[in-house]
Amino acid sequence: MTDRQLHLNVNMLSAGFYGSAWRASAGDPAAFTDINHYVKLAKIAERGTFDAVFLADSPALVDRPEFRPFYTLEPTIILTAIAAATEFIGLIATASTTYNEPYNIARRFASVDLASGGRAGWNVVTTADAVAARNFGFDNAVAHTTRYERAAEFTEVVTGLWDSWEDDALVGDKATGRFMDTSRLHALNHVGRFFSVRGPLNVPRSPQGHPVIVQAGGSDDGRALAARYAEAIFSVANSIDEGKAFADDIRRRAAAYGRPGSAIVTLPGLATVIGSTEEEARRRDDYLWSLIPADYSLVRVAGILNVDPHSLDLDEPLPDTIQMPIDGSQTFFRALVEVARRDRLTVRQLLRRLGGGTGHRVIVGTPEQIADDIEAWFRAGAADGFNLMPDLLPEGLELFVDHVVPLLRQRGIFRSAYAGTTLRSHLGLERPANRHTIKERLAG
Amino acid sequence: MTDRQLHLNVNMLSAGFYGSAWRASAGDPAAFTDINHYVKLAKIAERGTFDAVFLADSPALVDRPEFRPFYTLEPTIILTAIAAATEFIGLIATASTTYNEPYNIARRFASVDLASGGRAGWNVVTTADAVAARNFGFDNAVAHTTRYERAAEFTEVVTGLWDSWEDDALVGDKATGRFMDTSRLHALNHVGRFFSVRGPLNVPRSPQGHPVIVQAGGSDDGRALAARYAEAIFSVANSIDEGKAFADDIRRRAAAYGRPGSAIVTLPGLATVIGSTEEEARRRDDYLWSLIPADYSLVRVAGILNVDPHSLDLDEPLPDTIQMPIDGSQTFFRALVEVARRDRLTVRQLLRRLGGGTGHRVIVGTPEQIADDIEAWFRAGAADGFNLMPDLLPEGLELFVDHVVPLLRQRGIFRSAYAGTTLRSHLGLERPANRHTIKERLAG
């Protein structure tokens, strides 16, 4: 065993990462709204001693509902049902800083954290899509820069509220009738550009202090936010060099805030298609691709590149006119354009290489090949672990847990049992001290 | 058995209705943040075949934290944990229309509804307290009229979103790849004074259609909102005449919207202190009162009456200068002033009569006395049931379930087993048809 240990999350994308997952023989079209589906996935992941389950989200009916189910049940509701049925696994959900109020988000995630004994994580996103904006009074997506400025202030307010009760605030002395030590309870009195929030929160700290802060944006603004607040990062990287460069950049930026490199765990996305032979894995991949309608991925990638789908030809390279954006969903845009140009791919090849146009890396192979790949990235410092996106759920996750996890354990890079009960414990993150307690200690 | 059946909810106010509940020998000071406490209460209520558990809420640390725990864990998180541990009992949570966005509330409650197999209810409140306002960018409480205008539009948007998927929208045809019938999916395109919401929602309808709408405000604006939307009403009534007058008024107002009287269930609040003899019940009540600090209730009642606590004398009647408000929390204010003047009570007597100044009726007695009272109100048409507030939790609820429920069953007015699995089934409410399906039927 090395000291440094790998971290694994599973991204629970309804019936699986492939758009066609629900059409596969093992797929359940109604899985996306079935709470038992998510509970089942979490139990499998817990059997594989994963760090956490992860739920992406947008408050909208996104993608193309005539073909594919996407974000549906509100993620903290799913996580709470999972918390009731599991003991160890971490619970990370996405919530938007653009379409929520910080008091509500601080309280909701603190509640999941307490209800799960300290297993919650909040994935901070700014929600780029225009479809969501139109559910919240905007005609179009809120501008990128504004979203990130709001996100930074939002996160500052949330973390401030999470510290509004010191750990020993609750007294509960029946004899004297003293319920709380109000000197351990702190108003926030935040007044900023976007928010005025007095506080204190009405929820105490949890066994892990407060929920782990996760971040997923790779734009310059996204990295700046991550460097300041994120404790785990769900990133996009398509080569070891890219993964290393990202990790180095984030840790260099974090150092400017006085944060040590060990305070941040990087977890690139990784889609997996597993077969007992490489040939079998390729056949599985072909099968899943054959179930995706010809125009579905094209519309999807055109959406990310912000071009008319008709301007793309499946058997030609990306048009030269496509320029890197100055605003918008830069992470996935950049990944697509860089890989397409580097490897001189047609649009069809690009779609298939990058998860149907999502920008995430796809690996098709045997358990050994996947374990080799994971180990290589981990040892090179290109990743502290992965946010896994199995092709089909639960099947692809079961294959990973039963056939890849044992190899990672044999190689001494992944746990065989949980050492603690909180998400911070799994991720090797320290329990954060309360800011007011620190201040008092320094003054004392 | 009569046809008409009684309905019972339990209001899960942390350690109990009495401010001193956590100080009682059976009380747990930390119960308010313990998810297992709420799950335990729900299991007891389900054993008693209650219609639902109920959670009041405000997004703030209200009341006096140095003495009493109040609203804490976010209610839909608590309900989801309960859903995972129970099979039948309804799950009603409060959420504010003033400090949320309708898309988020529609989605969250629809998610709880699906996760519980159709057991959710949303208690619509406008959140009068200034403490909450200050967590959301306001210096003081939003004006009463504005809150209710927003609440009406908010509820209209939420119910519209709940109808955005017709029941048969999900097709999931693996052979053709057709996931949804998009002709059964409807954008809302709401543009109003407070909200612009395009929709559709990203959550389908549940086994009960959509969550039950509950309402709790008794002001004129509150009654108008209830008459239009509410399917269950948590009201305040301190006499059978008052209960009847309220029920009659609501049903008369509802008729103006074309809603039949049977579409609304009235549930006045009722705090209970149970003893095996009347003497024992009175001793229990005295004991709980003895644990409440002298000034606590005074500050509380002064807050409701919007006067300086120093202007009140415990052993004098309410000052004549106290006038009915034209704005604010009218329900409780009115209840307090009316009872005080009618029965010529001192402030101390008033506090004790009306649940420590909350305005809710308190009954102290034997199981027979309580069953008699409940039956009398029910048969007189002053209540379709009650929102029960046991003195201590879980103890007071256990006493009710074990000693009062059997009497109500013997008298043929309360179920011995659940007839269905949804909250609508328990409350005798019809499953609402989808508005688009109705429109099509009418056109066809």
Predicted complex ipTM: 0.94
Q: Is B219 annotated as belonging to a binding site?
A: yes
Q: Is B182 on the interface with A (CB under 8 A)?
A: yes
A325 burial (CB, 10 Å; 0-12 / 13-18 / 19+) is middle
Distance from CA of A304 to the nearest CA of B (A): 21
Q: What is the dihedral of CA A306, A312, A314, A315, to 10 degrees?
A: -130
Residue B104 parent element (H or E):
helix B102-115
Q: What is the mean pLDDT of residues B149-160?
A: 98
Q: What is the mean pLDDT of residues A144-149?
A: 94
Measured distance CA(A6)–CA(A50) in Å, rounded: 10
Please report where in the chains the tokens 């529609």 appear, as a residue.
B106
Phi, psi of B170 (to 5 degrees): -80, 120
Confidence of residue A1 (pLDDT cuts 50, 70, 90): very low
CB contact under 8 A, A29 and B61: no
CB B392 within 8 A of CB B11: no
Amino acid at B163: D
What would the two tokens of residue B41 be?
Answer: 């209460």
Residues B167-187 have pLDDT tens digits of: 999 999 999 999 999 999 999
- Taking CA atoms, B238 is separated from B9, B218, B269, B271, B362, in Å, by 18, 13, 9, 11, 9
Measured distance CA(B138)–CA(B319) in Å, rounded: 32
| SS3 (DSSP) at B167 | coil
Distance from CA of B383 to the nearest CA of A (A): 33
What would the two tokens of residue B40 be?
Answer: 């335990």
* Long-range contacts, stretch A248-256, CB < 8 angstroms, 24+ apart: A249/A223, A250/A223, A250/A226, A253/A223, A253/A224, A253/A226, A253/A227, A254/A227, A254/A228, A256/A227
Q: What is the mean pLDDT of chain B?
A: 92
Confidence of residue B380 (pLDDT cuts 50, 70, 90): very high
Q: Best interface-test mutation with A: which of B190, B198, B205 has the largest number of A CBs within 10 A?
A: B198
CB contact under 8 A, A195 and B62: no
What percent of chain A clears pLDDT 90, i.e. is strictly above it?
Answer: 73
Q: Where are the beta strands (DSSP E) in A68-211?
A: 90-96, 120-125, 170-173, 178-180, 190-191, 196-197
Q: Is B57 annotated as belonging to a binding site?
A: yes
Measured distance CA(A27)–CA(B185) in Å, rounded: 23
Residue A105 parent element (H or E):
helix A102-115
CB contact under 8 A, B80 and A85: no
Question: Which residues does B337 contact at the CB level (< 8 Å), separation at least 6?
Answer: B305, B318, B322, B324
Please report where in the chains the tokens 């504010």 appear, as a residue.
B96
Residues A287-331 have pLDDT tens digits of: 998 898 877 778 777 877 878 888 888 888 888 888 766 554 566
CB contact under 8 A, B179 and A66: yes
CB A292 within 8 A of CB A17: no
* Long-range contacts, stretch B256-263, CB < 8 angstroms, 24+ apart: B256/B227, B257/B227, B257/B228, B259/B227, B259/B228, B262/B428, B263/B231, B263/B429, B263/B430
Range of lowest pLDDT (A191-200, B325-334, B425-434) = B325-334
Residue of A89, A100, A106 lying closest to A213 (CA atoms): A106
Q: Is B62 on the interface with A (CB under 8 A)?
A: yes
Would you tell me which residues 275-314 of chain A have a C-beta closer than 8 angstroms to some C-beta of chain B?
291, 293
pLDDT for the residue numbered A328 = 46
With beta carbons under 8 A apart, name residues in chain A contacting B179: 22, 29, 65-69
Phi, psi of A206 (to 5 degrees): -105, 175
Q: Where are the alpha helices (DSSP H) in A220-308?
A: 220-229, 240-255, 278-290, 294-305
Give the angle subtended at the CA of A77 by the CAs of B234 and A271, to the nearest 5°.
165
With beta carbons under 8 A apart, name residues in chain B contacting A67: 177-179
Predicted model pTM: 0.94
In B227-257, which positions are buried (b, 16+ CB within 10 angstroms) versus exposed (e)?
Answer: bbbbbbbbbbbbebebbbebbeebbebbeee
Tell me B346's DSSP state: B
Q: Is B202 on the interface with A (CB under 8 A)?
A: yes
Question: Which residues does A444 contact at the CB level (< 8 Å), separation at least 6?
Answer: none
What is the crossing angle of helices B144-162 and B102-115, to 10°?
Answer: 50
CB A212 within 8 A of CB B60: no
Q: Please tell me which residue, A306 or B89, carries the higher pLDDT value.
A: B89
Q: Best interface-test mutation with B: which of A135, A136, A166, A182 has the largest number of B CBs within 10 A?
A: A135
With beta carbons under 8 A apart, name residues in chain A contacting B101: 99-100, 136
CB contact under 8 A, A134 and B74: no
What is the crossing angle of helices A75-85 and A102-115, to 10°?
Answer: 10
With beta carbons under 8 A apart, name residues in chain B contacting A66: 178-180, 182
Q: What is the mean pLDDT of residues A355-384?
A: 91
Q: Is B26 on the interface with A (CB under 8 A)?
A: no
Range of lowest pLDDT (A231-235, A243-247, A345-349) = A345-349
Closest CB to B33: pick one of A198, A199, A204.
Answer: A204
Q: Is A144 annotated as belonging to a binding site?
A: yes
pLDDT for the residue numbered A355 = 64
Closest CB to A137: pick one of B114, B195, B200.
Answer: B195
Distance from CA of B155 to the nearest CA of A (A): 15
Distance from CA of A93 to the nearest CA of B (A): 13
With beta carbons under 8 A apart, name residues in chain A contacting B81: 80-81, 83-84, 115
Measured distance CA(B402)–CA(A126) in Å, rounded: 51
CB contact under 8 A, A137 and B291: no
Q: Is A99 annotated as belonging to a binding site?
A: no
Q: What is the mean pLDDT of residues A131-136?
A: 95
Rg (CA), chain B: 22
Measured distance CA(A422)–CA(A409) in Å, rounded: 21
Q: What is the mean pLDDT of residues A407-415?
A: 98
Residues B239-294 have pLDDT tens digits of: 999 999 999 999 999 999 999 999 999 999 999 999 999 999 999 999 998 898 87
pLDDT for the residue numbered B1 = 42
Q: Name all domains of chain A by residue range, CATH numbers in brackets.
A: 7-278+360-443 (3.20.20.30)
CB A19 within 8 A of CB A61: no
Residue A41 parent element (H or E):
helix A35-47
CB B399 within 8 A of CB B366: no
B436 burial (CB, 10 Å; 0-12 / 13-18 / 19+) is middle
